[in-house]
A and B are shown apart, each in its own frame.
Chain A
Amino acid sequence: STGGTLIRQAVKEAKPVFSATSEDARRRVLNLYRAWFRQLPYIIREYDVPLTLPMCRRKLRENFEKYRQVNDIRVIDLLVAKGQMELVETAHMWKQKTHVMDYFKQTVSPKPTDFLGKFFDGKEP
């Protein structure tokens, strides 16, 4: 034997949250997308938000694309669970108009480029 000491690796497998395989998780994600997609026209009508259906669909797609890179099945399951909770709250009208409009809120304010903008922001020239 060439080897020195064998390193015994304790292989620990994490307990699944909902889905056992990535196929399972994929199905949950697609079902959540389907459910939200079908609910959008009712959301617009019931909350009377100043939004159009294409805007809402784009926002829905954007929110799903945000987590496109996630590969860990347990993380996917938790994200799906949170999305499902949001859907239930929105569909039952437990939210208000402002909560629905929050999905469209700009969280990143654009950096000022001109002198006055920078001055107001407190940046020294």
Chain B
Amino acid sequence: MLGICRTKASLTLQRLAKLNSFRALSSLGFTVMPKFALPSSNKHISTLSGISQHAIQRCSQWRCYASASSAGLSQDKITERVMTVIKLFEKISAEKLTIESHFMKELGLDSLDHVELLMAIEDEFGFEIPDQDAEKLNKPSDIIKYLCEKMEDRQYVCM
């Protein structure tokens, strides 16, 4: 009962996102990518479905690039990306912004602004942040810590 609105809306979105190809990547979800990015699984896939090795290799290279695992998701890189996204957000003045500044108390955002900001971060990193976690992300440092953990869970290196 809890997620009625959310599941219906997200189903609609997924259906529409598939029709609109430029958003197709985000609708796939993060879980699809790692399977193709690992080279060890490629041979298994190709023998099952008879796709040529060449095609699989090219496919996995494309996926690797898209998932940015080769680019290295270090703490610094994540920090940089998060701060860029937050700076681009118009409702935040760049002078007051630090890593430890609280969105609601210091930067004067309300809950809808907070939602918009988290959506911008979801778009940047390519995966959905669930509601229970989203409530706790009140400072840029929280967001960076959370993203590091999530990246580790998905078997990417976070140094």
Contacts and interface: CB of A to CB of B under 8 A. Distances in A.
Contact of A91 (B3, B16, B119): B16
Contacts of A92: 12
Contacts of B5: 28, 31-32, 35, 80-81, 84
Interface residues of A, number: 25
Interface string B2-24: 11111011101100100010000
Nearest to A64: B112
A31 B12 contact: no
B1 interface: yes
A94 to B, nearest CB: 12
A37 B4 CA distance: 18
Contacts of A32: 5, 9
Among A26, A27, A32, A88, max chain B CB count under 10 A is at A27
Interface of A: 18-19, 24, 26-28, 30-35, 37-39, 42, 61, 64, 80-81, 84, 87-88, 91-92
26 contacts: A24-B2, A27-B2, A28-B6, A30-B131, A31-B9, A31-B131, A32-B5, A32-B9, A33-B112, A35-B5, A35-B6, A35-B10, A35-B13, A37-B115, A39-B9, A39-B16, A42-B16, A42-B20, A61-B112, A80-B5, A84-B5, A84-B8, A87-B9, A88-B12, A91-B13, A91-B16
Given A37-B119, A42-B16, 18 more contacts: A19-B2, A24-B2, A27-B2, A28-B5, A31-B3, A31-B6, A32-B5, A35-B9, A35-B10, A35-B13, A37-B115, A39-B9, A39-B16, A42-B20, A80-B5, A84-B9, A91-B12, A91-B13
Interface of B: 1-6, 8-10, 12-13, 16, 20, 111-112, 115-116, 119, 131
